[in-house]
Structures are given as structure tokens and as C-alpha cells.
Amino acid sequence: MQTINSFCYKYGKTNVFLLANTLNIVPFILFLGLSDGHLLLSVLPFGCFYTVQLVGIFFINEAKSVVSSVDIGRLALLSGLMGTFFAMLGTFFFGYYVVAGILIGLSSSWLAIANLTVNHYQPNKEVTIHYSLLSIGIVLLLGGLSIAGAWRFTLSFALYFLFYLIGFQYIREAIQREKVQRLSVKEWNTLVSKKESLLFLGMGALIFLLRIGRLVNSEREIELALFGFCILFFLFFIQTKNQRTKWKVAKSINVLCFFNGVLGNYLILFGAIYVSQCYGQASTAWLLYGPYAVGMLGATVSFSFLVRRLGNYFEGALFGILFLGFCTVFFEKRIFEGFLFFSYGLFLLNLWLNRQYLATTTLHKEQ
């Protein structure tokens, strides 16, 4: 048992990094592959995953000052561990995929933020990210996505279950060794405010309606969702106008953060649907996940080097890469290169924004 704990502690940080950077695309591709475009039950797993992934951040918007990022990270890993277990059972009973979509969606929404904060404010320098192991994990997921039939889902979710198990054990071991500290300052019964809960439920219901309507080609659900979004965005506009003087981050950074989110959703949503419709569901492994993973790995390795070498020209080069990728995607014979450049630029932008936020001293470290 001690040997297993030592292994998880040594390599768990790499597993958490892999999960945090692939959870928004691999389960997306898998759950989308379950939909047949006709039966409501077949689109529910994807609808639940996509909805919870997008709005889960609102659920912890209040929790960030109540529960430390270590606790949020543990909850994200536990949620994903349970979700992947139910996903493996989904092969035998389809309804389990719906539960899996909710739990994995929560994990996807929380883990990246929690992992970023913990690594910045409580860096465990005793262990590092092993890029060789990270590359092996990326290739294993590529293999799982490339398999046809039901085994595609079983193998892919089994790999994630293993990654989650190692990652969860790493966090437990790091806490026991006092390499990271739990910083909870209030009782759990004060976790969520009514305002954040209503925002979570309202936004979630609208996104769910829109996504389900799109997948089953139901005009009624789409119209209701769009009408609801118009009302919600109008309320957001009024709220933002009243509170913009209280913003602690520069307006340009907020705009770029919004821009980053839009591009990320465009890459994954458009990419998954476009590739699966034009080239077949199995092609998403090589034409979407492959360049996405290579772009993620390349950006992680080269970011600091590019910032040092390019200096003030970095931002211009960054948007040049994004523009190149965006344009190249529309050339059918260059779709792999297009998604590669687009993913690489998007991860560079994400890393740059993270650095700007972490350098903002007016923000609390749990924010």
C-alpha cells in the first residue's frame, strides 16, 4: 500500500494537470457521440455535461471565499471519479451516462481553476510534472477515442477513472505530508448564496434547453432558450453597468477573458460537430483531439520561452497565431493544422491571462 501511495504522490501532479487540460474536450466528444439526434434520452448525457460544465463556475463563485482551492480540487476529483465510474456502467444501462454527465461536468468546471490556484499559492516543489508521462497519457486517450463501438466509451472512461484515482490519492497524500494546506474558514452550511444558486439554475436551464433543442432539431426549445437568454443578458448588462466601477481587473483583461471563453467554445463545439458530421465520429480523435493535445503540450512547454524572447511583441504574435489557426480551419485539407495553430494560440492566451490575474494584487488569492 505504501508503494502505491508513493507512486500516486510522485506522478499524481501530472495526472491532475492532464485531467485539468483535457476534461473540456474528451468527455465532450464522447458524450456527443452518444447522441442519435432523435431520442431525448440519447442527448441527455451530452446536454447535462455541457450545461453543468458551463455553469458550474457560478456554483463555486460564492464558494471561493468559503472553501479553499484545495477543497474545491478534492471535490472536483471525487466528482470526476464517481462520474467516470457511472460512465463505465453506462455501457450496461444507458441511464448511468446521464449521472456521469452531471458529475464529470462539475469536475471539468472546477478542476482547472482549483489546480491553477493551488499550484500558484501552494506549489508542491517536491514533485514536478513529468512530461514523458503526460505524453503517454495523451496517447492513451487518443487510442481510446480511436476505437470504434461501445469499447470506445468503456476504455476512455476507464482511463479517466485511473487518472482520477491517482490524482485524488495525490491530493490526500500531499495534505497528509503537509505540502498543501486546507484553508476553509467558514462552515459548510454557508457554502452557496441564494443569488449564485438562482444564477446557476437559470443559466443551466437555458443552456440545457438550447443544447437539447439543437441536438433533436426542436424549434420550440431553441426559441424558448433564445428568448430566455435575451432576458438574462439584458439583466446582466444592467448589473454590469452598475458594478463596473468596482472591477478590480482592467477592462481589457475582462474583455480578453470573455474573448478567450468564446474562442474555446468555438474550437470545441464547432470542431466536434463539424468533424463528426463531415469525417465521422471516429475522426474526432485524430482531427480534433490530436491537434488540441499537441497544442496544449506545446504551449505549456514554450510559453515562458516565448514571453522572454518576444517581450512586448508577445501579444501581437499570440493574436497572429490565433488568426492563422482560425483562417486555416476553413481549408478542408488543412483542418489538422488549423486546429493545431488555433489550440496552440488559445492555450498561450489562457496561460497569459492566468499570469495577468495572478499578478493582480487587488484580488484575494482564492479568486
Domain ranges for the chain: 1-243, 247-367
The structure's pTM equals 0.84
Residues 129-182: tens digit of each pLDDT? 899 999 999 999 999 998 877 788 999 999 999 999 999 999 988 888 777 776
Q: What percent of the chain has pLDDT over 90?
A: 30
What is the distance between the alpha carbons of residues 63 and 57, in angstroms, rounded to a whole number? 10
- Report which DSSP code applies to 311: G
Binning pLDDT at 50, 70 and 90, where does residue 57 land?
confident
pLDDT of residue 108: 92
3-state DSSP of the chain: CHHHHHHHHHHHHHHHHHHHHHCCCHHHHHHHHCCCCCCHHHHHHHHHHHHHHHHHHHHCCCHHHCCCHHHHHHHHHHHHHHHHHHHHHCCCCCHHHHHHHHHHHHHHHHHHHHHHHHHHHCCCCCCCCCHHHHHHHHHHHHHHHHCCCCHHHHHHHHHHHHHHHHHHHHHHHHHHCCCCCCCCCCCHHHCCCHHHHHHHHHHHHHHHHHHHHHHCCCHHHHHHHHHHHHHHHHHHHHHHHHHHHHCCCCHHHHHHHHHHHHHHHHHHHHHHHHHHHHHCHHHHHHHHHHHHHHHHHHHHHHHHHHHHHHHHHHHHHHHHHHHHHHHHCCCHHHHHHHHHHHHHHHHHHHHHHHHHHHCCCCCCCCC
Return the minimum-mean-pLDDT range out of 103-112, 172-181, 231-240, 256-265.
231-240
User: What is the residue type of 154?
Assistant: T
Mean pLDDT score, 305-324: 89
The x, y and z cell numbers of residue 28, run together, are 465532450
Binning pLDDT at 50, 70 and 90, where does residue 189 land?
very low
Does the pLDDT of residue 62 top 60, yes or no?
no
Q: Which of 317, 337, 321 minimizes the C-alpha distance to 329? A: 337
Binning pLDDT at 50, 70 and 90, where does residue 63 land?
low
Mean pLDDT score, 315-320: 90
User: What is the residue type of 15?
Assistant: N
pLDDT of residue 262: 81
- Which pairs with CB-CB distance under 8 Å and at least 24 residues apart come from 325-334? 329/271
User: What is the residue type of 335?
Assistant: I
Binning pLDDT at 50, 70 and 90, where does residue 188 land?
very low
> Other CB atoms closer than 10 Å to residue 225's CB: what's the count?
20
Full DSSP string of 60-93 = TTTGGGTS-HHHHHHHHHHHHHHHHHHHHHTTT-
